[in-house]
């Protein structure tokens, strides 16, 4: 395989990122295509994807969906304002000197289960994190928000990434995950905190140095991912619904390196 880290720009790259996202979320959380459309459809034209792609097959081995700030709230902030958290979003972000207009949403994190273990699996996760770091800082973003499955949150903390619970948030069931926590990542402080926590991972997380994944700064340029919206009927955000109901997915749950729809 010839692996490359990039911000998906072509239709094929974006489709590959959506495909691995859909496969992982179905397996890990029982999120069917109908659920994914309900949750992400209203944000589709705003979404950008950081992905590790096999250039030979065109297949994405892992992807992160980003939703930039805009006139309407990003998905994570819209969701945490409702059930089950009812967070006062602006007040919560203000505790670390951020505003809803200054944050992007890490709306999903998905890695193909065949590539989660061993050194190769670790590289894919690290590469995705590096890609988000470089792309977000390149576009002038100050902070990131997400709702993370608690298992994934533990993995990211082991990697030295300072994702912290949003002020007032606690772990709750969410969209197929039995326990997820709304989190925030202050990019302004992470540049100091990450090297202090995991100096051994600085070459990967900061410099993008990997053994099996090619990283070209051009592929992470701020101009990538900004495709023209598809022609589609005007639609409003879905009505607020109760996301707390949890049920075991139809397929066997595996350890998922996936962020439940933002979670």
Evaluate whether 41 touches 33 at the Cβ level (below 8 Å): no
Q: What is the pLDDT of residue 158?
A: 93
Give 126-165 as a 3 state SS string: HHHHHHHHHHHHHCCCCEEEEEEEHHHHHHHHHCCCCCEE
Q: What is the pLDDT of residue 220?
A: 97
* Cα dihedral across residues 159, 165, 170, 171: positive or negative: negative
Q: What is the pLDDT of residue 252?
A: 37
- What is the mean pLDDT of each successive set of 10 residues along the chain, which is 263 residues long? 94 97 97 97 96 96 97 96 96 97 97 84 92 95 97 94 97 97 96 94 95 96 76 51 50 42 46
Beta strands in the chain (DSSP E): 3-7, 48-54, 60-67, 103-111, 143-149, 164-165, 172-174, 177-186, 213-215
Give backbone dihedrals phi and psi of 213, rounded to 5 degrees, phi first.
Answer: -125, 125
Q: What is the pTM of this model?
A: 0.85
Evaluate whether 8 touches 1 at the Cβ level (below 8 Å): no
Q: In sequence order, what are the residues at sequence separation of 6 or more whose Cβ sits closer than 8 angstroms to the Cβ of residue 91?
A: 167, 168
| CATH number at 3-220 | 3.40.630.30
Q: What is the pLDDT of residue 243?
A: 56
Q: What is the pLDDT of residue 251?
A: 39
Identify the CA nearest to 63 among candidates 53, 76, 74, 73: 53
């Amino acid at each position: 395989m010839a692996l490359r880290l990039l911000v998906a720009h072509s239709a094929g790259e974006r489709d590959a990122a959506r495909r691995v996202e859909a496969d992982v979320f179905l397996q890990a959380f029982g999120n069917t295509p109908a659920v994914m459309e309900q949750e992400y459809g209203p944000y589709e034209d705003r979404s950008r994807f950081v992905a590790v792609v096999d250039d030979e097959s065109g297949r994405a081995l892992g992807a992160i969906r980003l939703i930039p700030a805009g006139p309407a709230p990003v998905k994570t902030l819209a969701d945490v304002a409702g059930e089950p958290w009812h967070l006062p979003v602006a007040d919560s972000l203000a505790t670390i000197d951020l505003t809803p207009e200054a944050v992007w949403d890490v709306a999903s994190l998905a890695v193909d289960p065949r590539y989660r273990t061993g050194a190769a699996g670790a590289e894919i996760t690290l590469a995705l994190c590096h890609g988000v770091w470089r792309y977000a800082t390149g576009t002038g973003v100050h902070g990131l928000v997400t709702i993370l499955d608690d298992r994934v949150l533990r993995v990211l903390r082991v990697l030295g990434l300072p994702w912290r619970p949003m002020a007032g948030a606690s772990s709750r069931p969410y969209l197929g995950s039995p326990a997820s926590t709304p989190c925030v990542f202050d990019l302004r402080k992470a540049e100091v905190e990450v090297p202090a926590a995991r100096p051994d991972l600085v070459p990967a997380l900061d410099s993008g140095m990997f053994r099996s994944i090619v990283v070209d700064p051009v592929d992470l340029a701020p101009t990538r991912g900004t495709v023209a919206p598809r022609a589609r009927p005007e639609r409003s955000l879905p009505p607020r619904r109760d996301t707390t109901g949890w049920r075991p997915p139809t397929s066997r749950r595996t350890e998922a390196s996936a962020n439940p729809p933002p979670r």
